[in-house]
Structure 1
Amino acid sequence: MFRWFKKKPPPPDPNAPAFWKAYLESMAATAYDKKTPIEEIGFVVFDTETTGLDVQEDQILSIGAVRVKNWQISVEDRLECYIHQEYYPDGKTVAVHGILPGEKRHSIAESEGVRRFLEFVGGDVLVAHHAAFDVAMLNAAIHAAGGGKLQNTVLDTGVLARRAARNPQLARPGTFGLDHLCDTYRIPQSDRHTAPGDAFITALLLLKLLHRLQKRGVDTLGALRSAPGMGL
């Protein structure tokens, strides 16, 4: 279960690492009310590239994130990091994201990657496409580094897109996949299947969905969170 509005994060374990304590302090200092207007919400749109789709066995290879606020994407305020992993449980995803096992590419340790991610995110609202997988992978990496689970409110652009559709019950399979939505909303798919590229594409999609939903009266964080399935 993800963080709800103004819900205080649990007190940090006195033996927890410093990065986790700092994150919880940042969470405690950021409290978005359910009546907070969309334009006042700080969103962090993110994506991960991984060695596969098994949360128990696979690992994070890269993290990309960009900040959105007041209807604007802050391209200067972004995160991009590559995680060094020694090997893949399954190398099939290399053809998708092009990251090889053990590749340096200015890579950092996984613990440093999640530390940077949490420092970047703070208490803002997290957004991803099919967010449950990315959140689960990050939670596993954070746990391995000595922390707990993400406490942020999480929004899924796949769920928002279904809500924004006129007749979602009539949608064909794949309609709410990222590729199809990019075609629907005329979003260029440059740098697709890279964490920074997919984060930016998803941020563009988020803005289009927010504009469409706002016209229907969905103009606060509480209204966004009320979509069926948003609790992931």
Structure 2
Amino acid sequence: MFFKKQVPFLTSTYLVCDLELTGLNPEEDSIISAGTVLVRNGQIEVASAEHYYFLPTTLLADDVTNSAHIHMITDEQREQNGIEISAWLSDLSTRLLADAWVFHHAPIDLKFLTMASQRLNISLPKVPIVDTLIQEQKRHKAQLLESQSQLSLNACRARYGLPVYRQHHALSDALATAELWLAQNSVQ
């Protein structure tokens, strides 16, 4: 479904995405929130930033009881403000289509996107994937950035002098990842 291919940074459109999850196992846990923002021609389009809560569903294991203390998302918020995750997954192929997708620690998000799209019988586009965590490891390989604390989004941002953002909020993390992606590309 996803493949790696270089796309020209300054002339491309990137969809930067972050997901909030009920856990880390895509077979047992689910996506409960997503944040997205576009980076076009090397600039963050703040007006494109969107935050989504997903309605609870019986198809996906999505009880927030064990994870609400991390991401501060309640079932009530999801029920009052949520959309069907199937609608958002469909948007990834149409309205939110971009030249590449950007994540911080892409393997986790991609496993959840793959599992959810398979369960809901939705085909996602084949787009290049950018992982700011991998970019950071490559850039600083001499420093052996291996621990979770050294590779967290805020730790990576700190190396570029970017401010600390609240973590575990999908939109905040998507914007933080977009800023990190720009910073990483400005020092090449």
TM-score (norm 1): 0.71
Which residue is 2:93 aligned to? 118
Match status 1:108 vs 2:83: yes
Q: 1:53 to 1:172 in 2, by over 3 A?
A: closer
For the residue of structure 2 that corresponds to 1:188, the secondary structure is coil
Could you say if the C-alpha distance between residues 120 and 187 of structure 1 is closer, same or farther in structure 2, counting changes exceeding 3 Å? farther
Q: Does residue 62 of the first structure (1) align with residue 33 of the second (2)?
A: yes
Alignment-mate amino acid for residue 41 of structure 2:
N
Structure holding more strand per residue: 2
- Indicate the residue corresponding to 1:53 in structure 2: 24
Counterpart check, 1:167 vs 2:142: yes
Deviation of 1:113 (Å): 2.2
Q: Which residue of 1 aligns with 2:176?
A: 201
The answer on whether the counterparts of 1:139 and 1:150 sit within 8 Å (CA) in structure 2 is: no
Distance 2:41 2:72 in 1: 34
CA distance in 2, matches of 1:211, 1:137: 30
State, as a whole percentage, how many aligned pairs show the same letter: 25
Q: If you compute each CA radius of gyration, which structure gives the higher value, 1 or 2?
A: 1
Counterpart residue identity of residue 121, structure 2:
G
Runs of 4+ in structure 1 off by over 6 angstroms are none
Check 1:85–1:189 CA distance in 2 against 1; reply closer, same or farther (3 A cut): farther
Query: Which residue pairs with 2:52 in the alignment?
Result: 81
Question: Is 2:2 aligned against 1:2?
Answer: yes
Q: What secondary structure sits across from 2:66 in the alignment?
A: helix
**Structure 1 residues 89 and 54 mapped into 2: Cα distance closer, same or farther (>3 Å)?**
farther
Aligned to 1:41: 12
Q: Distance in 1 between matches of 2:62 and 2:39?
A: 33
> Which secondary structure state, in structure 1, belongs to the residue aligned with residue 122 of structure 2?
coil
Equivalent residues in 2 for 1:91-170, closer than 5 Å: 91-103=65-77, 104-165=79-140, 167-169=142-144
Contact residue 89 and residue 122 of structure 2 kept, 8 A: no
Residue segments in structure 1 that go unaligned for 5+ positions in a row:
6-33, 214-232
Query: Residues of 2 paired with 1:105 and 1:116: CA distance?
Result: 21
Aligned counterparts, 1:216-227, within 5 A: none
Deviation, 1:96, is: 1.1
For 1:48 and 1:120, locate their aligned partners in 2 and report how far apart those are by CA, in whole Å. 18
